[in-house]
A and B are shown apart, each in its own frame.
Chain A
Amino acid sequence: MLHFVVVGILVIVTAILAYFGVNILWPLPLAASAQAAPIDWMWNLQMIAISFLFALIVVPMLYSLIVFKRKKGDASEGEHIEGNTRLEITWTILPLIVVLIFAYLGAGTLADTRRVDPNAMVVKVTGFQWGWKFDYPEYGISSNELYLPVNQQVLLKMESRDVIHSFWVPEFRVKQDLVPGRVTELRITPTIPGDIYKVRCAELCGTSHAFMENPVIVVDDAGFSAWVAEQQALAAGAAQTPEGRGQALSVANGCAACHSIDGSGGIGPTWFRLAGSEVQLVGGATITADDAFLAESIKEPQAKIVAGFESQQMPAYGFTDEQIADIIAYIKTLR
């Protein structure tokens, strides 16, 4: 009987210590969305249960290992206990009830994260290898940065251009895959303004999956209106010049995911000081990166491959000749 009392006390003490330990060892990131609250509540409840169950198994196990350890030279056997049906039924039924309760609560918290605000702002999200594009149909602007007004629900309508991607901002908690050929949805209500967030692709999507991260910026209403106005003005101005239209096309198609504009390395050749430079091709030949070469490289990426970039094929984009001329005009400004 003494054994049970000691173990019982130790289980309770260990469970409490384990719960504090878990909170130190496994902190959650900042909770910055309305959807994070029910998820964090559920997580905390699970950690309480886990700490208790951990203690319930580990304490009697370690206790047995110490107290019932065979002494040197002792050849006797343990006590002959074959089992106890009542005990077995207890530790089948009780966990069953607990599990059903947790599943019920899990469904409830899931429903909380799916709560619909009919006035939610729609943002169209496009994922591609390897970047993100955000269209704001209400304002007619698109961006590679996701600007969100604080405390307002946003409905993300998400599409993928190539393979499966997954939208995840750790501080917002919720996650949803982007599946080619269909539109998936996610609702987020950001609660804390800031520019520390990033949307990080959570589903393996190929070579540069690790780098498929774009900034997410949460601003107050005034800040959001200012950003929208600024973007609309920029877009209107840019549409007047070829290099402006080229830059817009580059943003919309995520060219910078592979071709850097500042000379840093990437999956494809950098655009910085590219126009007019001497380029070494696979096979040893060199060629001047004139308009004809750049146009061909956009239209038929496999026609001439720059040395050092053999292992990754660029997809075809189907631009018109005018669009290609605009993009080349933009590339020429990068020096």
Chain B
Amino acid sequence: MKRKYTLGSGFLFLLIAGVVGYGIGLGLDLLATGRPHFSAPVPSAFTILFAFTAFFFGIYGYRGITRGLVFQIAGTLAGGFLITGIRLLMGLQAFGGFFFTEPAWVLGGIVGAVSFLFGVGVMSDWVKWARGIDTPEFHEDEPGWEKYLGVSLDHKVIGIQYTVTALFLISVGGLFALIFRTELAASGLQFLVKDMSLFGQNGPQLYNTLMSLHGMIMIVSILLGISGIINYVVPLLVGAHDMAFPRMNAFAYWIAVPAAVLLLMSLVLGGFDTGWTGYPPLSAKAPVGMQMFFLGVFVAGWSSILGALNVIATVIRMRAKGMTAMRMPILVWASVATSIIALTATQLIGLSFQLVMFQRLLGMGFFDPAKGGNPVLFQHLFWFYSHPAVYVFVLPGLGVISELLPVFARKPLFGYRWVAMSSLGIALVGFVVWAHHMFTSGMNEYLRVPFMYSTLLVAVPTGVKFFSWVATLWKGKISTETPMLFVIGAIFVFLLGGLTGPPNATVSTDLHLHDTYFIVGHFHDTIFGGFVFPFFAAIYYWYPKATGRRMSEFWGKVHFWLMTPSFLILTFGMMRIGLLGMRRRIADYDPALGFDFTHLILTICGFAIALSVLVFIINFFRSIKHGEKAEGNVWNSRSPEWQVPSPMPAHNYEQPFEVVGEPYDYGLPGTKYVEFAPAKSGRH
């Protein structure tokens, strides 16, 4: 008899395993240190890992993600004990303040992540091929929700897996933000005080960890979010039956899960206090959580690189007949541009973090001035990825804006070629601007001027996009359903992000603005305008395609009208106090600066945004069953995916289509973008 899995049994298992894990962790900690630490890192780590795994066991059984997590825990312990055993034999210290020593945690982390991949089953086909066993080209998924918790090769399933994981991580990162935002509501330390201790950290240290993890978890969730949209939509837009490499596609998704686990483990293993940038020498001195953070980012980078490779291969090789470069949907252009950056730059952040990892483990003084190393070199390596990464985050979102605007304005996209080329232009210029993050870093001071010129050049292709969007709206027949509201919001917020950029790019004004809340407000504008708003727009827009139902319009509008004003006040306020002297990344601020009232307002706005996202998440899950049925061309779009019924069949289009016109010729009667081949008779 098939077992019935429910949320109830999930939470029951979560509770039991949490208690068991806490007991084991406390016991091990007691063995290693001789004293019980009730809120110490080791019991906390065991509690969280066990509870998380047991939850999936309760709702899903011992397969897929549950098996992966069990393998990851076993692998982490195996790797850790291996190093511990070797250290014992060598007569070195075997146990440290976090039960394992740092090298043991690092190897444990690596073995754990690899074990996860074997456990979840994403390597099974490759292992079989290596052993000479054939596997079928397609694996049929079972109907229902259970396929989302195991390995699927269907790009649509993987797209939804990415999207839901991104939403989960956005919630976690947002929760961290709410915690430290509450601490900032008034000057003086309120609850993250100096004499508290949680996960081996005092209040200001925990503040630093939460603030740093907020950054990196949000970055990973953005990378997963854009992968979600690209994975789901791009094969449909180009008329492919799947991505070019379905197994690699699944691999790229599943490797992000152990990466997220590693990142969250850094919180309990002593944390780290460097911000997401991890500048040495500070990162060379931080607790062992720093290493978990480095590993997590390193592993997540694989997801980004392999995903990008797949997108480029799919777009180059698998386009429908007649889809020439200049007839591709604009989102496909944006996806290619973003993938070029992700494929070629991500290595640098992995490399820079790996060098610090080696500096800590093996004493290699890459960035240690005492050994002839150079701390500023790290910043160059780091920003060579991390600046272009910003364009990885926003280009797909700008693509979504350009894709959706014509549908809701009922007009062609103004200057299609210019918009397409501006994506590539931003991507290419984006590679030569990294040092604008380092105007005060002590790098060669004359180099600052050419980097100022190159950075300001980004404004030109970005401006082309804005002008084209406005011209697309001009004389349209504009309707404002929820997806369009978020598109408008995205343009407005991204405009504010764009306009507040040049003062940071200009060296003289940046000398004042650098490392202040002005920067914090500026980049939250760019990320919300370039990713968050378009991400929500895309979900509201393609939700009927995936489920055959629409999300509630009413709650969608509540989401929009709650989030947008709160967010605008939040970033305007951040920029205001930043100009007046509020530094970034501080747990507390001088009451003499008089920022208490503004910070209180910002905290209230932060909670309002969280509430609006909660409204969205409830709407998202509720509409799966209760949404209004929407199986046809809901938005009256010319795009191929809307010419077939929703939800999309397993292998996409029953009949191939041919491109016979322009993608956005709204308002030109008698034209079509695609034409489907006639159905073959006798086919089921």
Contacts and interface: CB of A to CB of B under 8 A. Distances in A.
Q: Do A and B bind each other?
A: yes
Interface of A: 25-29, 38-39, 42-43, 46, 49-50, 53-54, 57-58, 60-61, 64-65, 68-70, 74, 76-85, 87-88, 91-92, 95-96, 99-100, 102-103, 106-107, 109-110, 112-114, 162-164, 166, 168, 170, 173-182, 184, 198, 200-211, 213, 265-267, 283, 308, 310-312
Nearest to B412: A82
B389 to A, nearest CB: 19
B144 interface: no
Interface string B570-610: 00100110011101111111100000000000000000000
Given A68-B477, A78-B411, A207-B202, A164 B282 contact: yes
B512 interface: yes
A202 B516 contact: yes
B412 A80 contact: yes
Interface in B511-527: 511-512, 514-516
B423 to A, nearest CB: 14
Given A26-B575, A182-B369, A77 B666 contact: yes
B317 interface: no
B554 interface: no
Contact of A68 (B467, B478, B496): B478
A270 to B, nearest CB: 12
A317 to B, nearest CB: 16
B639 to A, nearest CB: 16
B202 A102 contact: no
A88 B468 CA distance: 8
A128 B101 CA distance: 28
B586 A209 contact: yes
A265 B478 contact: no
A182 B442 contact: yes
Contact of A27 (B205, B474, B580): B580
Contacts of B452: 103, 106-107
Contacts of B281: 162-164, 180
A266 B194 CA distance: 7
A80 B463 CA distance: 23
B441 A179 contact: yes
A313 to B, nearest CB: 9
B521 to A, nearest CB: 10
Interface in B261-298: 273-275, 279, 281-282, 285
Contacts of B474: 60, 64, 68, 81
B201 A311 contact: yes
Nearest to B461: A92
A154 to B, nearest CB: 16
Given A42-B508, A43-B503, A206-B282, A57 B274 contact: no
A102 B502 contact: yes
Contacts of B195: 265, 308
B480 A65 contact: yes
Given A27-B579, A110-B507, A175 B477 contact: no
B506 interface: yes
Contacts of A206: 208, 273, 282, 285
Interface string B483-498: 0000010011001100
A77 B411 contact: yes
B591 to A, nearest CB: 12
A74 to B, nearest CB: 7
A178 B460 CA distance: 34
Contacts of A80: 411-412, 665-668
14 contacts: A29-B580, A64-B474, A70-B410, A74-B477, A78-B476, A84-B415, A88-B468, A106-B452, A162-B285, A164-B281, A164-B282, A170-B580, A175-B511, A179-B376
B90 interface: no
Given A80-B668, A95-B459, A106-B509, A170 B581 contact: yes
A11 to B, nearest CB: 11
A82 B414 contact: yes
B448 interface: yes
B473 interface: yes
Contacts of B668: 80
B463 to A, nearest CB: 5
Contacts of B131: none
B581 A110 contact: no
A57 B411 contact: no
Contacts of B418: 83, 88, 92
B456 interface: yes
Give the size category of B's interface with A. Answer: 35 or more
Interface of B: 35, 194-195, 197, 200-202, 204-205, 208, 273-275, 279, 281-282, 285, 369-370, 374-376, 409-412, 414-418, 440-442, 445, 448-449, 452-453, 456-457, 459-460, 463-464, 466-471, 473-480, 488, 491-492, 495-496, 499-500, 502-503, 506-509, 511-512, 514-516, 572, 575-576, 579-581, 583-590, 662, 665-669
A99 B512 contact: no
Contacts of B205: 207, 311-312
Kindly list the 8 A-B residue pairs having the minimum CB-CB distance in the complex, ordered from nearest: A181-B369, A170-B581, A78-B411, A210-B586, A78-B476, A106-B506, A77-B667, A83-B415
Nearest to B34: A283
Contacts of A209: 204, 208, 273, 585-587
A203 B370 CA distance: 21
Nearest to A169: B581
B472 to A, nearest CB: 9
A65 to B, nearest CB: 6
Given A54-B499, A311-B197, A70 B479 contact: yes
Contact of B464 (A64, A88, A168, A174): A88
B282 A26 contact: no
Nearest to B195: A308
A173 B511 contact: yes
B470 A113 contact: no
A92 B466 CA distance: 11
Given A54-B495, A210-B204, A65 B478 contact: yes
B464 A91 contact: yes
Given A43-B509, A179-B375, A206-B285, 18 more contacts: A27-B579, A42-B509, A64-B473, A68-B475, A70-B478, A76-B477, A78-B476, A80-B667, A81-B414, A81-B475, A106-B507, A173-B511, A175-B511, A175-B512, A198-B590, A206-B282, A207-B205, A265-B194
Contacts of A49: 502
Contacts of A69: 478-480
A55 to B, nearest CB: 11
B369 A57 contact: no
A64 B508 contact: no
B658 to A, nearest CB: 22
A170 B583 CA distance: 10
A178 B456 CA distance: 27
Nearest to B501: A50
A107 to B, nearest CB: 5
Contacts of B580: 27-29, 170
Contacts of A96: 457, 460
A180 B514 CA distance: 20
A82 B511 CA distance: 43
Contact of A57 (B417, B466, B477): B466
A35 B474 CA distance: 45
B449 A107 contact: yes
A85 B197 CA distance: 63
Contacts of A109: 506, 508-509
Nearest to B416: A83
Contacts of A208: 204
A83 B579 contact: no
B666 A180 contact: no
Contacts of B370: 181
A259 to B, nearest CB: 13
A218 B416 CA distance: 58
A87 B452 CA distance: 27
Contact of B495 (A58, A114, A176, A180): A58
A61 B473 contact: yes
A65 B489 CA distance: 12
